[in-house]
Amino acid sequence: MSILKLSQSPEKRIVENKSLNQLTRADGSSSRLVALNAARNAVKPTVNLIVVGHVDAGKSTLMGHFLYQLGGINERIMHKYKQESAKRGKASFAYAWILDDTQEERERGVTMDVARTSFETEHRKILVLDAPGHKDFIPNMITGNSYADAGILVVNATHGEFETGFDFGGQTREHTILLRSLGVGELLVAVNKLDTVEWSQQRYDELRATLTSFLRKQASYTKVRFIPLSGLHGINLVNIHPLLQWYKGPTLLQAIDELQVPAHSCDHPFRAVINNINKISSSAISVNIKIEAGFIECKEKVYIMPDVYHVIVKVIETCSTKDIGFAGDNALVTLIPISSIESDSVSIGHVLCRGGEECLIPGKKYRVRVVVFDTAVPIFRGTKVELFAHCLVEPCTITHLIAELNKSTGQVIRQKPRMLTKNMSGVIEIVTERAVNLELYSVCKALGRVTFRRTGQTIAAGIIEQKVD
C-alpha cells in the first residue's frame, strides 16, 4: 500500500489513495462475529458510571467508602490512609484518598481530574469515573463524562450547603445539564450527609421535590432514582441501615446493579476515541480507547484521524474479550505504524477508523442545533468559544446564527436572529481552527454531541446536523 502524503488535506488523501477502498479486514465470517459478540454478551455487561456534584458534596468520600465496603480496599491500605489523613488534620478525608491519589488533590482536599476505578455487582461490571466538582476543573469533568453511560449526582443535604451548590452559582445545575447534553440518560441522585440533619425525612423529601422538578423541566430527565445515605459513615451504601426506617427503596449498590445496560451499534462503521496515551515510539503506539461504534479485530489496518496515520492493530484487550473489541468496550490497544510517526503526533481525542467508505472525514465547518444555557451574555455572530466533543477540546468561532427554534417543537421561529439568549434553541454554524473528528449525530451519537464554553462557563450544548463543505 502506498504511503499517504501528509501535506494533502484529509479529504484529498482519502479520495486520491485508491487502495483505501481495498483495505483487507482480518479473516472472519459474519457467523464468527455473531458468535464472538454472543460470547461477549454472555458475561456481565459493563456500565460506565460517572459521579458528579458540587465541590464538597462528598463524592470521593462516598465512592471511596463504598469501594471499601465492597472489599476493594484491603485493611492495611485503609489503615494507612486513616493514619496519614489524621496526621495532616484531614481525618474525614481518609476514604476520599482511595480515589484522590495525587499529592495536590490530597493537600487541597478536592478532586482535580477524573479518577477511574472498577468493581462488580451481581449483574454488572461497573467502571466508575469520579469527576471533579470545582468549577475550575469542569473541562476535566466534560471529557470524563464523554464516555459515561449513567451518572450519580451527589448532593449535600446539610442545611445551606445544598442551596449553595444548587442556587447560588454552584455546580449542581451545570453538572446535571452537562450530563444530559453529553448523552447520559439515566441518573441516580445520592442525597449525601443526611446524618448532618438527623436523617430527616422532611429534608430528604424537600430536596427530592426540588431536584425532581429541575431534572424533568430543565434537564429533560425521565428516569431518576433517589437514595438517602451518608458517605462518611457508610450508611445505605451496601446494606440498609435501621436508621432509615422511613425509606423503603434500594441501597446504592442495589440501584447501581439495576442500571440499564446501554445499547451499542456493533453493525455501524468502526469508530474508537483515544482517551489516554500510554506510550508512543517509532515501532509501537499503546493507547486506551472507547469503541463508540462497530468492532475491531487484531491484524486489521486502521487509520488514526484527523492526520491519517496508517497503523495495524497488534493487541486488543477489553474486560471481557481479547483480540476483538465491540461498540461500548473500553480497550487497551497496541498499534504498529506502517509509516513513520512522530512521538507527539497522536493525541487524546483522535479517532480510529477504517478506510474506504467507512472512513471518518475530518472537517472544520459544521451546523449545530443547540440549546443555550443560563448565560448572562448572549451568543452573537463571531463569538469565540471552546468546543468540547468526546475527548476533544478545540477553539472555534460561531460564524453564523442560522435560525431560532421553538424549544419544544423544533420549528423555526426566526431566520438569521441577531443573537441567541439564555434558554433559547437555535441552529448555528461553527468553524474550528483545525480539522476535527466530528460526525453527524444521526451517524454516530458519540461524535455528534458538542458542548460550548466561554470564559469558564458552559454556555450551550447541541448536536451536529450538517458538515459544511
pLDDT tens track for 314-367: 999 887 778 899 888 889 999 999 987 877 789 889 999 999 999 999 999 999
Which residues share a beta bridge with 452? 387, 460
Average pLDDT over residues 131-148: 57
- Written as nine digits, the cell of 140 is 476535566
Name the phi and psi angles at 18, rounded to 5: -65, -25
- Written as nine digits, the cell of 429 is 454554524
The separation between CA 67 and the C-alpha centre of its own chain, rounded to angstroms, equals 21
* Selection from 28-32, 182-186, 425-429 with the highest mean pLDDT: 425-429
Q: Are 293 and 327 in contact (CB under 8 A)?
A: yes
Q: Cα separation of 183 and 173, whole Å? A: 16
The separation between CA 429 and the C-alpha centre of its own chain, rounded to angstroms, equals 24
Strands 412-415 and 449-454: unpaired
By CB atoms closer than 10 A (0-12, 13-18, 19+), residue 197 is middle
| Cα separations in angstroms, 393 against 146, 287, 436 | 12, 18, 10
* Selection from 61-65, 208-212, 263-267, 371-375 with the highest mean pLDDT: 208-212
Domains of the chain, first to last: 10-34+264-358 (2.40.30.10), 46-257 (3.40.50.300), 363-467 (2.40.30.10)
Q: Cα separation of 159 and 431, whole Å? A: 45
**Which of 139-149 are b and which e, b meaning 16 or more Cβ less than 10 Å from the residue's Cβ?**
bbbbbbbbbbb
Q: How confident is the model at residue 45 (pLDDT cuts 50, 70, 90)?
A: confident
| Cα separations in angstroms, 452 against 131, 139, 296 | 19, 10, 31
Q: Are 64 and 96 in contact (CB under 8 A)?
A: yes
CA torsion sign for 241, 242, 244, 250 is positive
426 pLDDT above the threshold of 80: yes
Ranges assigned E (strand) in 31-161? 46-52, 115-120, 125-130, 150-156
The pLDDT, as a whole number, for residue 230 is: 95
Model confidence pLDDT, tens digit, residues 260-294: 988 777 789 999 999 888 988 888 999 999 999 99
- Written as nine digits, the cell of 243 is 436508621
Which residues share a beta bridge with 225? 188
**332 vs 73 pLDDT, higher one:** 332
Model confidence pLDDT, tens digit, residues 154-169: 999 999 999 988 886 6
The separation between CA 247 and the C-alpha centre of its own chain, rounded to angstroms, equals 31
Lowest mean pLDDT among 36-40, 65-69, 161-165, 351-355: 36-40
